[in-house]
Amino acid sequence: MRIFLDTANLDDIREIARWGIISGVTTNPTLLAREGKNVRDVIVEICEIVNGPVSMEVVSTDAEGMVREAREYVTWHPNVIIKIPMIPEGLAATAILAREGIQVNMTLIFNPNQALFAALAGAAYVSPFLGRLDDISTEGMDLIREIVAVFRQDAHLDTQILAASLRHPRHLVEAAKAGADVATCPPAVIRKALKHPLTDIGLERFLNDWRQLEATLTREVARVS
């Protein structure tokens, strides 16, 4: 399973991209608005930092407007893919864009039917929102499992399952186990997933032992001298 970063914050993207673990970035209007910068400049810079798909979401709600926006956004950088909401007009726009060779990440997926419809329309990715389902007392991870099961029944479907709205490190593990192709995570979730108290304790012990060894050797050299 590949990992995308779900943010538009350039500092976070630069930091985590250095670790060599992310292969794409997802953004949305909310994340971009938080940055308060020129949207095109932000997207282009993200594309220069991360050599992989970078989702830019349309804000139109009619197919014609979505297609018009998408055609503009993909001129910004070769890594840009288009994020489109799961609504009837979104399906129509996705079908047009897929015929033009423009990759679509269909977002706001909450049931297997929506995922299947998106795939049939030609979406390159479907983004089921796990955390938002958990918020209403529904097991979000079950949705990933159902979509995986549906997609496996048809060898002609090459749409990738992009687990979204991940709220904690366990979501990341469970998405991988369930068969998601990609998981997109906020920087905070990535950082939490990286940390473990035993790693910190073990490192401190190793360094402390090394410092003690250096001190012993220094004393021994001083005594011999």
Q: 92, 71 in Cβ contact below 8 A?
A: no
Decide: 175 and 156 in contact? Cβ < 8 Å: no
Is residue 68 within 8 Å of 33, Cβ to Cβ? no
Residue type (1 letter), 37: K
Phi, psi of 100, rounded to the nearest 5 degrees? -90, 0
Q: Is 195 a catalytic residue?
A: no
7: its two tokens: 């943010």
How far is 126 from 105, CA to CA, in rounded Å?
6
Q: Based on the number of CB atoms within 10 Å of its own CB, is 209 exposed (0-12), middle (13-18) or buried (19 or more)?
A: exposed
Of 83, 177, 192, 195, the catalytic one is 83
Residue with tokens 């949305």: 28
Amino acid at 142: D
On whether the CB atoms of residues 26 and 2 are closer than 8 A, the answer is no
Strand partners, 56: 82
Task: Count Cβ atoms within 10 A of the Cβ of residue 134 and give its class: 0-12 exposed, 13-18 middle, 19 or more buried.
Answer: middle
How far apart (Å, rounded) are the C-alpha atoms in residues 31 and 34? 5
- Position 49, amino acid: I
Active site (catalytic) residues = 83
